[in-house]
Amino acid sequence: MFIKSIHLENFRNYGRLDLDVGPSVNIFYGNNAQGKTNLVEGIYVASSVTSHRTSKDTDLIKFGENEYKVSLDLIDDDGSSCSLSSCYYTEKSELSRNGRPGRTLIRDNAPADKISEYIGVCNIVIFAPEDLNIVKNAPSFRRKFLNTLISKISPSYFNLLSNYSRLLAQKNALLKSIRSSDSMPSLVDEQLNFWDYSLADLSAEIILKRYKFVKLISDIACRHHGSISGGKENLSIEYNTIFGVVGALETFLTKNSKYDEYMSKGLSESDYGRIKGILSDLVLAKLKSVRNYDIDKHISSTGIHRDDIVIKLDGLVMKSFSSQGQQRTAALALKLSELEIIKMFVSSTPILILDDVFSELDKTRRMSLVSAMKGAQIFITCTDKNMIGEEIDVMQGANKAAFYRVESGNIEAEA
Ligand SMILES: Nc1ncnc2c1ncn2[C@@H]1O[C@H](COP(=O)(O)OP(=O)(O)OP(=O)(O)O)[C@@H](O)[C@H]1O
Ligand SMILES: [Mg+2]
């Protein structure tokens, strides 16, 4: 799949942009603060709904406006056309009919009712300076990395997550409404039982997906990391969730010799039901054991919303012990694993965005990156177009690279 044209309206510093792009390498160059990152962010938001650098939709609206719209015209691998359009409006916008903020997603000129029907259509992998957050920052960055990757491949996972977040918000509202001086009325206890039971059920399904993808990411990222670092260091990634859950899953898979089946085509319905039951019982027991604490603190202290992935180099947690360069290499290996996993599961070739990444990588890392990208449609941003020469030769296919100059929210294609 590749993008034929990009349309932005009131997005960041773009008032209106209609731009045709090439099917191979597209290079956007210009001084700082001209709108290069904003453009690629617009492309990413049009395909994935959320931004890679902010979770606030209002940040994306051009200052002084009340809505943004980002659209892509696409050509699929079989030559057919399709289009995606995502619009977000605030409560002040004329598009808001009920005085509330909202979003409209259009796929092929028809409304997409669910985000899950929209986000898998055009897969984009973005490499950006923010990737370093996955290795060195809070668990929420690693959860976002994992959730985004699995959602791109599995719309059902996205729906599980949405249901989980909705139920958790309802349970939290109940926890907030209970005053610690209250003796617990049985009605509240019953309601909490209901939320915990439903959350445990959803948690088991989410855990089964997350464990599998963390294993895949670990294997693939470790291989990439080995080849970039010359095999000197060993990267490993572990799934960290509610205590005892990973052990129970691994015991089930080993005892029943189901590991290979689980990792490849998936478990049979009856095995899936059995392990799901074991995991949801464990989660439920854990939620019950912290109930008094949670009521006291008005929070959900335990659950898969606190999951993490632990990234280690030679057995040491990278977040705490690794150098900036080692962290950057690991971030690159993780993103290359994302690209490889999407290629494994999705039939059309993902589109790639490299936002300002070349300047931060040395030659070996740059070459590892570009050699994984041959033949795809690529969007590159940089301040100096002369900095990338050899890399373009590796990446571009039969079509020549196209250059665009970005200045104050305007883009001009080089003849
Ligand atoms: N919501 C917004 N409305 C209007 N302008 C915005 C908005 N958000 C950011 N900007 C502005 O967009 C400008 C360009 O930002 P962008 O991140 O795209 O720059 P860039 O070309 O990638 O620069 P660099 O080379 O430094 O990475 C900044 O001056 C910023 O203030
Ligand atoms: Mg930038």
pLDDT on residue 183 = 61
- 50 and 185 co-located in one domain: no
**312 in a structural domain:** no
CB of 37 closer than 6 A to ligand 1? yes
**311 in a structural domain:** no
- 152 and 115 co-located in one domain: no
Q: Which of 273, 306, 339 is the last residue of a domain?
A: 306
- 180 and 289 co-located in one domain: yes
- 286 and 259 co-located in one domain: yes
Q: Which of 38, 43, 353 to mutate to test the pocket of ligand 1 (most atoms within 8 A of CB)?
A: 38
Average pLDDT for residues 252-257, to the nearest whole number? 98
Pick the range with the lowest mean pLDDT from 38-47, 134-143, 206-215, 392-401. Answer: 392-401
Cα 403 to middle of ligand 2, angstroms: 16
AA identity, residue 125: V
pLDDT on residue 376 = 87
Q: Which of 306, 338, 358 is the last residue of a domain?
A: 306
pLDDT on residue 370 = 85
- 171 and 108 co-located in one domain: no
Is 399:22 a contact under the CB 8 Å cutoff? yes
Cα 64 to middle of ligand 1, angstroms: 15
Sign for the pseudo-dihedral over CA of 269, 247, 213, 230: negative
Number of structural domains found in the chain: 2
Q: What CATH number does the domain containing 204 carry?
A: 1.20.1050
pLDDT on residue 366 = 84
Average pLDDT for residues 42-46, to the nearest whole number? 98
**130 in a structural domain:** no
Which strands make up the sheet holding 308-313, listed edge to edge? 235-240, 308-313, 316-317
**393 in a structural domain:** yes
The pair of three-digit structure tokens given for residue 197, joined into one six-digit string: 């039971």
pLDDT on residue 369 = 83
- Helix residue spans in 20-118 (DSSP H): 36-48, 57-60
- Helix residue spans in 229-290 (DSSP H): 245-255, 259-263, 269-289
- 82 and 170 co-located in one domain: no
**283 in a structural domain:** yes
Q: Which of 273, 288, 306 is the last residue of a domain?
A: 306
Average pLDDT for residues 65-77, to the nearest whole number? 96
The pair of three-digit structure tokens given for residue 230, joined into one six-digit string: 């010359």
* Closest alpha carbon to 73 in 351, 401, 353, 356: 351
Average pLDDT for residues 256-265, to the nearest whole number? 96
Instruction: Report helix, strand or coil for 381.
Output: strand
* Closest alpha carbon to 9 in 75, 68, 77: 68
- 203 and 284 co-located in one domain: yes
- 374 and 404 co-located in one domain: yes
pLDDT on residue 71 = 98
Cα–Cα distance list, 246 to 160, 168, 212, 237, 322 (Å): 19, 22, 11, 13, 26
Residues 6+ apart with CB under 8 A from 77: 1, 347, 348, 349
CB of 56 closer than 6 A to ligand 1? no
Q: What is the pLDDT of residues 262-274, one digit of tens each?
A: 999 999 999 999 9
Is residue 184 predicted with pLDDT exceeding 70? no
Q: Alpha-carbon distance 8 to 391, whole Å?
A: 29
Q: Alpha-carbon distance 289 to 285, whole Å?
A: 6
Q: Alpha-carbon distance 161 to 143, whole Å?
A: 11
For 341, phi then psi, to 5°, come to -65, -40
Higher pLDDT among residues 137 and 388, named by residue: 137
- 224 and 252 co-located in one domain: yes
- 162 and 293 co-located in one domain: yes
Please list the helix, strand and coil fractions of the chain in percent, rounded to the nearest 5, in that order. Answer: 50, 20, 30
Residue given tokens 């947690």 in the structure block:
317
**342 in a structural domain:** no
**318 in a structural domain:** no
Q: What is the pLDDT of residues 297-333, one digit of tens each?
A: 999 999 999 999 999 999 999 999 999 889 999 999 9
Q: What is the DSSP letter of 33?
A: T
CB of 35 closer than 6 A to ligand 1? yes
Cα–Cα distance list, 343 to 302, 346, 353 (Å): 34, 5, 15
- 150 and 285 co-located in one domain: yes
Which strands make up the sheet holding 124-127, listed edge to edge? 124-127, 351-355, 378-382, 25-29, 402-407, 410-413
The pair of three-digit structure tokens given for residue 168, joined into one six-digit string: 């958790």
Cα 38 to middle of ligand 1, angstroms: 6
Give the domain extent around 242.
Answer: 142-306
Q: What CATH number does the domain containing 17 carry?
A: 3.40.50.300
From the CA of 29, the nearest ligand is: 1
pLDDT grade for 134, boundaries at 50, 70 and 90? very high
Is residue 20 predicted with pLDDT exceeding 70? yes
Q: Alpha-carbon distance 389 to 382, whole Å?
A: 12
pLDDT on residue 171 = 95
CB of 383 closer than 6 A to ligand 1? yes
**343 in a structural domain:** no
pTM of the model: 0.92
CB of 33 closer than 6 A to ligand 1? yes
Q: What is the DSSP letter of 241?
A: -
The pair of three-digit structure tokens given for residue 301, joined into one six-digit string: 């202290």
pLDDT grade for 360, boundaries at 50, 70 and 90? confident
pLDDT-above-70 percentage for the chain? 98
Half-sphere exposure of 64 (CA within 13 A, CB side): 3
Mean residue pLDDT across the chain: 93
- 86 and 198 co-located in one domain: no
CB of 327 closer than 6 A to ligand 1? no
